[in-house]
Every structure is written in C-alpha cells, then in structure tokens.
Amino acid sequence: MKLPGQDAIARQADEHLVTHRVKLPRKLVEHPIRQVGKRLSLALVVLVATAFIVYADHDGYNDNSDGSLDLLDAFYYATVTLSTTGYGDITPVSDAARLTNIFVITPLRVMFLIILVGTTLEALTERTREEWRLNRWRSTLRDHTVVVGFGTKGRSAIQTVCATGLRKEQVVVVDPSGKAIEAATAHGYAGVVGDATRSDVLNRAEVFRAKQIIIATQRDDTAVLVTLTARQLNRGAKIVVAVREEENAPLLKQSGADAVITSASAAGRLLGLSVLSPAAGMVMEDLISQGSGLDLVERPVIKAEVGRSPREVDDLVVSVLRGHRVLGYDDPVVGGLELTDRLITIVRATTVTHVTPDARQLPRD
C-alpha cells in the first residue's frame, strides 16, 4: 500500500536523477548506417587486396589438401588470416611468402581488425571523450552568459545578445527539460539539465564565473529563488530577470536582480502604442530587435566628444549614463559630456555593430 504523497516523492526523485547533466553542442556526423557501410566496404577492399597479394605469390604457399593454391584458396587464406582464425591448412613456405606475411599481410590484418571493431571502440571511448570535452570546456569558460529557461523569452534574449557579438560558445543554457536542452545544443549552445533553484545545478553551469545571467523562467516564484541562488554564488555578475507580474519586480530587485523586465506589461504597452500609432509601434519593435534596422547601443564617450552637449554628438543620443544616474539627452544637468560618461544612442544596424559591455552596474533600487 502506498502512502499519500509517495508518487510525488518518486517523481521528484526521478527529476533529481536528471540533474547535473551537462550537454555540449555536437558536431554534425554521418548516419550510423552510412558509417558502418563505409567501414564494411573498407574491410572488403582490404580482404580482396590481401587475397590478390597471396595469389600473386601462390607458388610460395602450401595447401595441405592438394598442394596447390588457386584464387579460391587465396581468398580463403586471406579470410582466415585477417580474422586471426588461422587454421594452418594453408601456410607460407617460401622466404618471399613469409616476408610478404610479415610486412604486408600482418599490417593488413591489423587494419582489417581496426576497421571492423572501430564502431565498438568508438562506443567504448565516447564516455572518455565526453569527459575530456567537459573538462576542457570548464577550464576555458570565463565571463560567459548563463540563460535560465529556454522558452520564448530565453531564446529571444540569446538571439539578441548573440547579435551584438557574443559567441555561441559563451552561452550556457539551464533548463529542467531535456528536450529544451537538446534544442539549445542543436543551436550551438552548451546546456545543463536541471533545476536552476539548486546551487549545484548552477555550479555545473559555472555561474560563479559568469559575467551576466539572464533568468527567463515560466513562474515568478521560481525566478525569485533562482535570483537569490545566483546572486549568492556570484556577487559581481549582472542579473536580468523577466517576470509576469509587475508587483513582483521590487521583490526581484531585493533578491539581487540588476534589472527586472515585466514581460506582460511590456507587451501590453507595445500593444497600446501600436493602437495609438502603428508606425511608432513598428519603430519600437525595430529598436528592440537587435541586428536589423535601428539598434539601441550603449557606448563610452570618446575624447573628441568631451565637452560637447549630447545634441552635438554625431550619433543620436537618447540618454547619458553618469555615475549611477541615467539622464535624458535634454537634461540640463548633463551640460558637457565627460570622459567617464556612457551614451545610449540609436544607430543604424550593421554586421559590425556591437554593444560595448557595461563596466559598471546601476544601483539596485
């Protein structure tokens, strides 16, 4: 008899069994049947070549049954020799035949065996190669981006940051769904299957070395727990979180998030703007779609711009970041630009447009 809650406990245990799995992107390989076919073809070529080599020197061999060696006997000898069966009924007796066996037949035997057992050896060494890849991946992973959740929000966030120059090798996806991680690895991202609220799962994603963390979970309460765990493991990373309800935004900031995006409210505001002005809605959609049309880019002030007003800069300046403040382009406090300022500008998207990483974090208020 099962006690109440045993099924739920069993399900949780099963879920915990799939944690700690790191999956790296795989290179495209041929279909297994095609690989086996190629290896069998190579083995057949080696067999035929060996048979003709033996037949070419058939006078140097002795057949215990009739003393002579024909083409069929040559194929028979090649088969039993390459497979290391070696019945001994056909043997090399001349010096030339024996030298041929030493320098030609033996290497062909080794090649034949390698070809036939290649698939088995590959299966046996797959685990070792995977462990080597994981260890190498961990040793080289620095200042990467961890994305928690590979749903619509997570995929869009990855596409945006990759459009600004981030390499796919610098993205690690964490999701409890194995299918989601398979989709992530198919796109070229590394993935970790597991619950991101657990610190051991985030450690598998090397979150303590990450430069930025994007949290795009399906539930707001999960987002809070992930944010708390991530901030505890990495005090310096920039954490950006997406939530459904706007009332949960202050809680996320208190939990350690640097920026909180209310997905439902943002979509609603864009809908309202599109109703009032479809053209304005199209412009906003273009601005938030990185890599095409117009892009919002944050960059430092260059020496030639120091002392100028934001209106005198060649680019279209939207805001000025000075210290911990975000000032409008027309704010009289801005005055002349300073070398330590950063500008948020609107530029025409090109293939070389990159967002300069922010070296300072805004206050979490």
Query: 3-state SS of 217-243?
Result: CCCHHHHHHHHHHHHHHCCCCEEEEEE
How far is Cα 40 from Cα 262, in angstroms, rounded to an integer? Answer: 59
pTM: 0.59
Compute CA distances 307 → 73, 179, 336, 346, whole Å.
95, 54, 4, 20
- Model confidence pLDDT, tens digit, residues 287-316: 777 766 778 888 899 888 888 888 888 888
pLDDT at 215: 94
At 260, the amino acid letter reads V
- Determine the Cα–Cα distance for residues 50 and 75; give it in Å rounded to an integer: 8
Contact call for residues 362 and 335 (beta carbons, < 8 A): no
Q: Which amino acid is at 8?
A: A
The helix/strand/coil state of 87 is coil
Per the DSSP assignment, residues forming a β-bridge with 325 are 322
* Separation of alpha carbons 22 and 135, rounded Å: 11
Tens digits of pLDDT across the chain (365 residues): 444 444 544 444 444 444 456 766 665 555 556 766 777 788 888 888 988 988 888 888 888 877 778 888 888 888 888 877 777 777 777 778 777 877 788 788 777 777 777 666 666 676 677 777 778 888 888 899 999 999 888 888 888 888 777 888 899 999 999 899 989 988 889 999 999 999 999 998 999 999 999 999 989 999 999 999 999 999 999 999 998 888 888 999 999 999 898 877 777 777 787 888 888 878 877 777 776 677 888 889 988 888 888 888 888 888 899 888 888 888 888 888 888 899 988 888 765 444 444 444 444 44
Query: In the prediction, which pLDDT does 20 show?
Result: 57
Q: Please give the pLDDT value at position 88.
A: 77
Confidence at residue 350, expressed as pLDDT on a 0 to 100 scale: 65
pLDDT of the residue at 232:
93
- Cα angle 44, 49, 52 (rounded to 5 degrees) comes to 125
Coil, helix or strand at residue 336:
coil
Q: How far apart are the first and last CA of the chain?
A: 53
